[in-house]
Structure 1
Amino acid sequence: MQIMKHLWKEFPNEIRQWRYEKKQLLYGILLGLFICWLFYDRIFLIMFMAPFLFPWMKYQRKKKFKKQRENLRKDFREMMLLISNGLSVGYSMENALKMACAELKHQQQQDESLLVKELEMLTTSLKVNEPVDKRLLVMADRIQLEELAQFAEIVSIVRRNGGNLIEIIGKSADHLNQTMQIKEEIDTMTAAKRMEKKIMSIMPYGILLYVRLATPGYFENLYESIPGILLSTVSLALLAVANVWAERVVAIEV
């Protein structure tokens, strides 16, 4: 009962988010229509599949968020390397941040990332003599990136208690770079398996589509009888479960 109340409470917020996710919503509706036609030969059943749009949209949102996080981590790794290089040649932390911001902005040209925009705000605030450690903590709180939060904490602690900031930042940058390289190597090694997973996920639908188009009436008994409809439903559920299981198998976190 509590789950139903929670879902009902979140329903308006979920619908409002769909206004900014029209592409994913349209794709979900078209996929639902295709499934209703292929498995049941009844397009109107899309009305009963409408509730499945909620997990579909959440899945698409999660996938998009994960991709954004990965791109953000790559930008942060580049920022850390630039800051480490700047500190090693004698720049202050403030000037190293300004240099990193300018270099990242030059590399990305028109398509600026969230990190570059936040860095621009940070460097602007430094012009009015705001403490760099506090601005980094504010920036980390807005972006919600674990590595950035750790970096901001390190700078804050070193500013308060003293320490070799150049050495600490250098080691942090090397550690982050090694972690990202391991992740990229794993992605490269599993690329073939991920492609196989996509092909195997699409193949059952492709076979059914080919048989239906090549041999009209072959699935007529499947569409017109109760056991046939039940068999279609069970098959569709098994395909969905297999796809979710395959997603988890190829997802390797570092």
Structure 2
Amino acid sequence: MNLKMYQSWKRRVLELKVTAFDIPLIGRNILILFIIGKLFYGSFIASILMFPLSIPWFVIQKERKQKKENHDLGIQFKDAMMSVLAAGKAGYSIENSFSEAIHDMRILYGKSSPICRELLRIEQGIKNNVTIEAMIRELGKRSKNKDIEEFAGVFAIAKRSGGNMTDTIERCIDVIGKRMEVENEIDVLIAAKRMEAQIMEAVPFGIMTYVGITNPGFFDALYGNILGITVMTACLVTYIAAYILMQRIIDIEI
């Protein structure tokens, strides 16, 4: 691993925020490590030795989880802006339009939804004399959502230049909506492939478990000796490489 790659991973780990909601994910990773240690090396001690490998794996899974949450937030944000647009066309000011959108989002997604929390944050910021564009820009940076970041930039320019905010929001919603339609079409097209990938990821463990149960001692020749450890390590490395390759193939960004 070169210095640049090391610094990249170090930054990703430091930026990672582990919360109580990640406990099930951590527990699942530990369980899988114990399964790998037992199936590939016949010992749980091997699982403990492989524990450092779980850190980058957890980082990747956590980032994938955050990516999904940010994608869901983008969908909710689009719906919120449609509510803001409707309120603006009804004659509300842009500030009051955001306050009105909170009521609609509570009905649509519930009080504890991410978009309701963010709209309440924006409303509180308005009361503290913080501009709406600054609050939306901060939301975009915090969530790292491209749609929100782009919307914040266009919204700020239109507000500073005195443009028609209703038309601006409507055009932005149209662009965001078209991008989301493309994403949904891609998700539908590769949904079956994702399912196949998940099945293929579990197949090696299923086969080894089946053989180990139906033929006790079948893998004993591969446990506790240098040759067997080398062979099983090569198989494990091949499996990890195939897993990474499959994830890259089905991970398509717009």
- TM value normalised by structure 1: 0.87
C-alpha displacement at 1:87, in angstroms? 2.3
- Does 2:203 correspond to 1:203? yes
Which whole-Å CA distance do the structure 2 matches of 1:137 and 1:148 have between them? 8
CA contact (8 A) 1:122 1:136 kept: yes
The residue aligned with 1:181 is 181
Residue of structure 2 in register with 1:172 after alignment: 172
Per the TM alignment, residue 3 of structure 1 is displaced from its structure 2 partner at its CA by: 7.2
CA distance 1:198–1:131, shift in 2 (3 Å): closer
Correspondence 1:121-200 to 2 at 5 A: 121-127=121-127, 130-200=130-200
SS at match of 1:21: helix
Alignment check: 8 A CA contact 1:88 1:166 kept? yes
Equivalent positions of 1:28-177 (< 5 A) are 28-113=29-114, 115-127=115-127, 130-177=130-177
Q: Deviations over 1:211-251 (max 9, x none)?
A: 01000111121224422221111011101110110011111
Offset at 1:131?
Answer: 3.8
Q: Specify every segment of 5 or more residues in structure 2 that has no aligned partner in the other structure, as ranges.
A: none
Once the two structures are overlaid, the 10-residue window that deviates more, 66-75 or 133-142, is: 133-142
Count, aligned residues: 253
Distance 1:221 1:127, change over 3 A: closer
Residues 1:221 and 2:221 aligned together: yes
| Aligned Cα root-mean-square deviation (Å) | 2.9
| Most deviating of 163-172 and 121-130 | 121-130
Out of 184-193 and 157-166, give the one that drifted further.
157-166
Distance 2:238 2:150 in 1: 43
**Contact preservation (8 Å) 2:16, 2:59:** no
Gap regions ≥5 residues in structure 1: none
Change (3 A) 1:185 1:233: same
Work out whether residues 71 and 145 of structure 2, in 8 Å CA contact, stay in contact via their aligned partners in 1. Answer: no
TM-score, normalised by the number of residues in structure 2: 0.87
What are the Cα deviations for residues 148-176 of structure 1, in whole angstroms up to 9, with x where unaligned? Answer: 23222223222222222222211110110
1:248 alignment partner in structure 2:
248
